[in-house]
Amino acid sequence: MVELAIFLSTVLFVSLIQIAIPFLVKRTVAFGVTIPYEQTRNPKVLKYKKWYAFVTTVVALAVIIGLIVLSTILDETKLVLVGSLFPFFVLFSGLSLYFYFHYKITKLKKVHEWYSGIKQVHYADLDARSKDEMLASFVHFIPMIITVTLIILTVNLFEQLPNQIPTHWGPDGKPDAFTDKSWMSVLNLPIVLFVLQLMFFGINFFTKHSGIKINAGNVTSSKLRQLRLRKYSSWFLFVTNIIMTLLFAGLQLNLLYEQLFSDSFLLLLPFVFLLVVLVGALWLAVKVGRVDSDLEGKLATGESSKIESVDEDSYWKGGLFYFNPNDPSIFVEKRFGIGWTLNLANPIGYFVILFPIAIILILSFLIFKWF
Amino acid sequence: MIIVDTESDIPLYRQLSTQIMEAIVRGQLSPGDTLPSVRAFAGDLGVNMHTVNKSYHELEEKGIIEIVPKKGAVIIADIKSQVSSDHIDNIGKQFRPLIVEALVNGMNKEEIYDVITNVISKIYEED
């Protein structure tokens, strides 16, 4: 029953976000296509969004019913195997629909020449940076104190540790896989944690130094949205860092001092982590998604003028991947989803994201001898 | 507020310089204020860093900003300061071809004055 509850809540979470996305993204981007403000209420655009929501809802319901039915037929192990595929059905159907409507709107925009007669400009606000409330990047150094403490503790206790180090825990919270004791295997968790904390620092730092994008067609709303996204996503990142640090610290302390925590407490930790991240993501989606989206309601009068920011569709591959060598920004706002995406034309971005992941993978290869 | 028009014949960097000078004239930027870093400004605008760099250098040459290492581009132009006669001469030289063009098209003194007055009030009106 626990498995079923986890799968159901995952599917429910994924579906809710999925269904809501077209209404939470910037209203000037419909299915990854830039449209001028005067077309955001275009009946066809609204119809496509509603269809998308309807079909994804039906798929989500079918998946939920399917899961419940399967849980009565299959035994636990089979349910885990099959059930973990189900959230991907929802994601896949959403993505297929996205591409279908992306194509439809691209065509509409071209045929009706939505940008003819609109002056396209680059816009910047000299005040925006002073109003930016992103957390300072150095806050990500604070949890590193815990990491360093863990490393010192581990080094001091190394001699006393047993010769077998647990690497995997079963559903009952008891370890069921082990590796030989070595400096690498014992320090694996704190080192991975340290690399992740560095990555979080990098994400915050480079987001802060990325452009504050304001749409000249609706300065008030688009500026508020950008500032909110920057502020709340930096908070989200920091809270995630803290919770992640606590999770890793709990696991490492348990490795150092056997029986420090009860099995059920250790089982609970990852769920608390997951819950905080999911709730945080929803909160971010609501805070950001309310502004300058369809949810904001009608446009402030006088702002739907004939000036708009430059149509940058040519830099967005498939409406999803940003590749703009002219833009020094490393992170830019996502077009279909809430959050940030990489400017793939900027090598620093690859470094910030891929380098830490590569280090973590290499470490695990070395320790678990996957070669 | 800084706006550069992609379809204008005037190069982007020059539009940017004009926009920064207009912000100074309107009092949105005062002496001692720093402009955003080249990277940040180019990111905000979504233009190439060279464009911003070129504009900053142009403004530096004109004596409107000073590029201070580690601090960035600092505004030094003061709208309240006394303008030098050299500077007036220089502006006059730059006006000359435009005034000639106006005269050759049959504009008289008053009409030219009107144009200038209009441009000045427009600069202050825009926000």
Q: Which of A124, A129, A209 sits opposite B45 (nearest CB)?
A: A124
pLDDT band at A77 (very low <50, low <70, confident <90, very high): confident
Rounded CA separation B109/B113 (Å): 6
Do B68 and B104 belong together in one domain?
A: no
pLDDT band at A368 (very low <50, low <70, confident <90, very high): low
Q: Which amino acid is at A198?
A: L
What is the distance in angstroms between the Cα of B37 and the nearest Cα belonging to chain A?
9
What is the distance in angstroms between the Cα of B86 and the nearest Cα belonging to chain A?
31
pLDDT at residue A238 is higher than 90: yes
Contact A328 B23 (CB under 8 A): no
Q: How far is CA A78 from the centre of its chain?
A: 29
pLDDT band at A298 (very low <50, low <70, confident <90, very high): low
Per residue in A120-132, pLDDT (tens digit) is 999 999 889 889 9
A119 vs B contacts (CB less than 8 Å): 5, 7
Contact B42 A213 (CB under 8 A): no
Cα B100 to Cα B94, B96, B106: the distances in Å are 11, 6, 10
pLDDT at residue A358 is higher than 80: yes
* Domain region containing B51: 12-75
The verdict on residue B2 lying in a domain is no
Contact A328 B42 (CB under 8 A): yes
Rounded CA separation A317/A334 (Å): 12
A–B: how many Cβ contacts below 8 A?
A: 75
Check residue A173 and give its pLDDT.
65
Check residue A184 and give its pLDDT.
84
Contact A122 B6 (CB under 8 A): yes
Contact A122 B45 (CB under 8 A): yes
Residue ranges, chain B, pLDDT below 50: none
Residue with the two structure tokens 């690497």: A167
- C-beta of residue B99 within 8 angstroms of C-beta of residue B54: no
pLDDT band at A79 (very low <50, low <70, confident <90, very high): confident
Alpha-helix runs per DSSP H in B26-84: 38-45, 49-61
What is the distance in angstroms between the Cα of A348 and the nearest Cα belonging to chain B?
13
Rounded CA separation A182/A165 (Å): 9
A326 vs B contacts (CB less than 8 Å): 46-48
Check residue A323 and give its pLDDT.
96
Contact A120 B49 (CB under 8 A): no
Do B93 and B57 belong together in one domain?
A: no
Rounded CA separation B94/B107 (Å): 18
- C-beta of residue B75 within 8 angstroms of C-beta of residue B65: yes
Which residue in chain A is spatially nearest to B15 when comparing CA positions? A122
Contact A211 B2 (CB under 8 A): no
Report the range of poorest mean pLDDT among A137-151, A166-180, B38-52.
Answer: A166-180
**Counting every residue, how long is chain A?**
371
Helix (H) or strand (E) holding B86: helix B85-104
Check residue A301 and give its pLDDT.
46
Q: Which amino acid is at B33?
A: D
The residue-averaged pLDDT of A20-24 equals: 94
A213 vs B contacts (CB less than 8 Å): 44, 46
The verdict on residue B95 lying in a domain is yes
Specify the number of domains making up chain B.
2
Rounded CA separation A226/A223 (Å): 5
B29 vs A contacts (CB less than 8 Å): 126
Do B32 and B58 belong together in one domain?
A: yes
- C-beta of residue A290 within 8 angstroms of C-beta of residue A25: no
Rounded CA separation A30/A40 (Å): 8
Which tokens hold the place of A258? 């056997």
Q: Phi and psi of A317, rounded to 5°?
A: -75, 120
Contact A123 B2 (CB under 8 A): yes
Higher pLDDT, B100 or A14: B100
Report the range of poorest mean pLDDT among A33-42, A165-174, A252-261, A312-321.
Answer: A165-174
Report the range of poorest mean pLDDT among A14-23, A79-88, B88-97, B110-119.
Answer: A79-88
Which residue in chain B is spatially nearest to A324 when comparing CA positions? B46
Strand order of the sheet with strand B2-5? A307-309, A119-124, B2-5
Check residue A134 and give its pLDDT.
96
Per residue in A249-275, pLDDT (tens digit) is 988 998 888 777 777 777 788 888 888
B6 vs A contacts (CB less than 8 Å): 120-122, 310
Q: How far is CA A297 from the centre of its chain?
A: 26
Q: Which residues pair with A180 in a beta bridge?
A: A164
A327 vs B contacts (CB less than 8 Å): 42-43, 46-47
Q: Give me the percent of chain A exceeding a pLDDT of 90.
A: 56
Contact B46 A129 (CB under 8 A): no
The residue-averaged pLDDT of A227-242 equals: 97
pLDDT at residue A371 is higher than 70: no
Check residue A370 and give its pLDDT.
52
Do B17 and B71 belong together in one domain?
A: yes
Do B37 and B90 belong together in one domain?
A: no
Rounded CA separation B123/B127 (Å): 8
Do B64 and B93 belong together in one domain?
A: no
Domain CATH for B20: 1.10.10.10
Do B68 and B118 belong together in one domain?
A: no
Rounded CA separation A319/A33 (Å): 6
Which tokens hold the place of A209? 């130094």
Average pLDDT for chain A: 89
The verdict on residue B92 lying in a domain is yes
Q: Which amino acid is at A227?
A: L
The residue-averaged pLDDT of A279-299 equals: 88
Going by C-alpha positions, the residue among A192, A185, A148, A146 that lies closest to residue A168 is: A185
Do B65 and B18 belong together in one domain?
A: yes
Among B6, B20, B41, B45, the residue to mutate for chain A (most A Cβ within 10 A): B45
Strands (E), B1-116: 2-5, 65-68, 72-75
pLDDT band at A7 (very low <50, low <70, confident <90, very high): confident
Check residue A314 and give its pLDDT.
94
Rounded CA separation B97/B102 (Å): 9
Do B22 and B70 belong together in one domain?
A: yes
- C-beta of residue A292 within 8 angstroms of C-beta of residue A229: no
Do B107 and B71 belong together in one domain?
A: no
Global ipTM: 0.85
The verdict on residue B1 lying in a domain is no
Question: For residue A323, how many C-alpha atoms fall within 13 Å in the half-sphere facing its CB?
Answer: 5
- C-beta of residue A178 within 8 angstroms of C-beta of residue A166: yes
The residue-averaged pLDDT of A79-103 equals: 89
Per residue in A304-356, pLDDT (tens digit) is 568 889 999 999 999 999 999 999 999 999 999 999 999 999 999 999 999 99
Q: Which of B3, B29, B48 sits opposite A121 (nearest CB)?
A: B3
Rounded CA separation A187/A155 (Å): 8
Alpha-helix runs per DSSP H in chain A: 2-24, 43-73, 76-83, 86-111, 128-131, 142-157, 183-208, 219-256, 263-289, 347-368
Q: Which of B4, B5, B23 sits opposite A126 (nearest CB)?
A: B23
Check residue A299 and give its pLDDT.
65
Which residue in chain A is spatially nearest to B39 when comparing CA positions? A328
